[in-house]
């Protein structure tokens, strides 16, 4: 059995009916029953030729979109609803339906095309305005800012390079100064008054942390006096005492000097006692 689809384009609705039903009843009656619209409240317009369908039209005169031999044939129509308002409005409506609509209907496509063309022109103008803004920004803001940006980049790069070189140089100068300072302080303040760099735990001892309190703190174990200090003590006892205790042991150095003036040996014995005891 062949089915027919009636598509009402302007309201986007479709109904499917058997072909025999279209042969038996007018199409207005069929749409009225399927969509529950009173038959006297609307009229139909064919999309193929723009003519109004009356109750007297023959349903066999429709042009089907899918051909006569297709299992599903389509009829495309527009449905327009009548405006109620008395005899005068009905007369105007009938005049428009019968006479003016076939004249005005073709102009709908032209009007839609004209509106579409206006929208396209508006979009093109907007695109052109945007392109003009981009060009103005490129020549007015971007290009003039290039020299300043290049200068800022060169300045930043030069500053970073200078900081790197200066920091590297000062780092090694600081390392050398610290090394020289350690040697100077060790020689001036005495071997036992600065941490031993060969002993990692020497700087954490009670002596250097001032935690001796009332107990005796040994700065170095017995028998670990440096050989150079021993030689200096034998040659000149006050020098050995100074090398071991530095300026902090000035009192011991002074006593050693006085004893050394008393024919050397008292000062040597005193120096060896305070070095090894």
CA diameter of the chain? 157
CA distance 26 to 77: 14
pLDDT band at 216 (very low <50, low <70, confident <90, very high): very low
Note if the pTM is more than 0.85.
Answer: no
Looking at the predicted structure, is the pLDDT value of residue 10 above 90? no
Looking at the predicted structure, is the pLDDT value of residue 198 above 90? no
Higher pLDDT, 234 or 277: 234
Highest mean pLDDT among 39-43, 132-136, 162-166, 174-178: 132-136
Which of 62, 13, 64, 84 is closest to 53 using CA atoms? 62
The string of pLDDT tens digits covering residues 118-156 is: 999 999 999 999 999 999 988 888 788 777 778 888 888
DSSP symbol at 44:
E
Helix (H) or strand (E) holding 157: helix 143-189
Higher pLDDT, 214 or 178: 178
Q: Around Cβ 92, how many Cβ atoms within 10 Å?
A: 13
The string of pLDDT tens digits covering residues 64-115 is: 555 444 456 888 888 888 766 555 666 666 666 666 666 666 777 788 888 8
């Amino acid at each position: 059995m062949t089915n027919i689809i009636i598509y009402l384009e302007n309201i986007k609705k479709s109904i499917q009916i058997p072909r025999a039903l279209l042969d038996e009843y007018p199409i207005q009656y069929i749409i009225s029953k399927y969509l529950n619209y009173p038959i006297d409240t609307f009229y139909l317009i064919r999309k193929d030729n723009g003519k109004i369908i009356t109750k007297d039209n023959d349903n066999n005169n429709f042009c089907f979109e899918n051909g006569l031999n297709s299992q599903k044939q389509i009829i495309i129509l527009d449905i327009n609803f009548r405006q109620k308002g008395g005899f005068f409005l009905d007369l105007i409506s009938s005049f428009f339906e019968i006479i003016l609509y076939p004249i005005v209907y073709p102009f709908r496509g032209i009007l839609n095309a004209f509106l579409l063309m206006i929208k396209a022109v508006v979009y093109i103008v907007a695109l052109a305005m945007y392109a003009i803004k981009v060009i103005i920004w490129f020549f007015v803001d971007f290009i003039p800012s290039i020299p300043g940006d290049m200068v800022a980049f060169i300045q930043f790069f030069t500053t970073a390079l200078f900081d790197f070189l200066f920091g590297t140089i000062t780092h090694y100068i600081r390392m050398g100064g610290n090394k020289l300072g350690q040697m100077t302080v060790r020689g001036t303040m005495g071997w036992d008054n600065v941490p031993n760099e060969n002993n990692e735990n020497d700087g954490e001892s009670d002596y250097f942390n001032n935690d001796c309190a009332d107990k005796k703190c040994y700065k170095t174990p017995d028998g670990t006096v440096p050989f150079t200090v021993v030689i200096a003590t034998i040659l000149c006892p006050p020098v050995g005492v100074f090398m071991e205790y530095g300026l902090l042991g000035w009192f011991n150095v002074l006593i050693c000097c006085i004893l050394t003036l008393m024919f050397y040996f008292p000062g040597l014995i005193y120096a060896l006692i305070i070095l090894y005891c």
